[in-house]
Each structure stands twice: as C-alpha cells, then as structure tokens.
Structure 1
Amino acid sequence: MKELKKRSIKAKDEVSGVSKSGKWKADVYFEHSTRAVAFEVQHSYQHLREYFKRQERYKESGVECYWILYKPRFLTVTKSIAKHRLKEEFGNRFPEDKKIGGGLGQISSLPIVWFEPEDEQPVKAPGFFSTEVGRWIDSVLDGGFKYSLGGWKIY
C-alpha cells in the first residue's frame, strides 16, 4: 500500500466484487489508468483449483489479479502447477524439447511471486528475478511484468 501511495495511487483494502461465477474479495484493489488491479496476498494453503477459480472470477470482472505468496505457499503452489502442467500439457511425460524455460512451476494464467519481507529485494520469482517492491509494482503498472519462456519476469 505504501508503494502504491508513493505513486499517487489510491489503493483500498478488502474490496469485494461479483462475477458471473461468484464473489471475489481483493486484499488490495486499485485502479490505474483504465485498469482495475487486485493484489492477493496468500498466507494460508489453498488448492491449485481454488487459485484458478479465484483468478477466473477476477478475469470475468475485468480485474487483473496478481498473487503475492509467502515462500511456503509459493513452493506448494509451484509444485502443484508443475504437476498440473505435466498432466494437462504434456500427457504426464516430461517434455524433452527444453522449451519450458525455467521449469514447469509457473503458468501464464496465474501471475505469482513470492515475498520475503526481511530481504532487501523481497519480491522474487525463482531463476528469473529478485527485486524491490517498488520496482515490481512499477513493472505491473507499466506492463513489464510478463510471462515468457516458462516464467513470470520483469522486462
């Protein structure tokens, strides 16, 4: 919230909305230019299926949702994503063509990073980047946080 305020963005906590498939409640919600954006900070375990459901609700409402997970949650969900991708994209066979970039643990439909608050560069994606909160927020705002070659990166 502090980093958004520095950028003159008025963010709100716990904003609710409704899509055709259900209700959603964003931990942090703001509007920037013509975009509606939500940050979900996930502390507790949730099944990958629930991440997908919640992400779809935001999408149906025209809200971009970015997931900020603490490391234990990040490790759990990336393992689940890898299993999901192996099954759905590769027929339960590990791909031989090496076109999976940084691995199978990230997916284009679910923008995720992990957060280590005690670190100088607390926002992370394995093998791709480690950065300050402000730089990551800037990349979200300017469209520089993108999925490419198997992972979420800052461009």
Structure 2
Amino acid sequence: MWLHCGVCCGLRPHFNWVIGTCEETQGTGQFCWNLPDCVLNGSPKINYVAAYQFDGEEFVLLDDSTAGELNFAGVHGNFWRGRGFTAHNASFRWRGGDWTTKYAPWARGVGSAGPRGVTPPAGLWILSAENFYYGAFYMLSQLGLNLEGQGQPTGTNCWMWELDPVEA
C-alpha cells in the first residue's frame, strides 16, 4: 500500500468492530461536547456484540472478538441486568479520541494470540442494543486496532479502510 512505511504495508483484510460512546471516562471527545447528562451516562444500552467468520459452509462465532455472555448456545446479554457487554466491556476498552470512550477487540499485549478479526470470504457482526443513541459502530483493520491500542508503538497510524455502518 505505502512504499515508504514498514508497519502498514501489505495490510491484510482482517477487520473487527469498534464502538464509540460518550460515557465520561476521560477527556471529552469531539463528538460528545455539550451533551446532556442522560446522554453521557445513559446511552447507548448495549446487550452484546458478536463477531462471526464464514468458513465456507457456516458462520462460526469468534469468541475473542465477541463481547457478551458465551455458552454452548452462542452469545447473549441483557443491559438491564448488567450482563453481556456491560459485564465484559472493560476487557474490550480501547483508546478514546473523537468519541470519549471506545471499545474494540484488540491484542491487549498478547500479540498474535489476540483476536484475528474477520476475513474473506465473509464476516458478520451483530450489535444487540436496547438503544444506540450517541454511539458509533464501525470497523477497522485488526492491525490498526492492535497498533492504536498499544499507543502506536511504531509511530505509524494505520487508520485506513474505516467502515462506518452506524453512527447514531
């Protein structure tokens, strides 16, 4: 892709989800300025986020890229009972910025043992929410998620190929 860089060259098509919210956890992001308290601390209300990889015959749940309660039946969660995303979102905490708080599946210091993301031939993400006011649900390359989560240790920002299906 770029002839002059080292880390982002040859970007593989591995993508994963990112959720941006206005929860007050650090300095206010640009999309969260001057909002009422009910928005800052009451939205969105997420049950779970699931990631699936198509293996040529069926979609297979990716445990390391899913934020919710996992069991033999799949993934579930209930915002009102503090289950699912709410119970697991701390382990998906990512670097904030334009949105005050962000969550994403990233390597969290485990390197190649971390999430792989979805790849061709097909992937599927499911966001189950009671409401999704003042939130964003988008996808980035897994390499970009891992590097940004580590504070760009290579000095390279690989934010490219962003896909924005929901910006509420």
Identify the structure with the greater helix proportion: 1
TM-score, normalized by length of structure 2?
0.27
TM-score, normalized by length of structure 1?
0.28
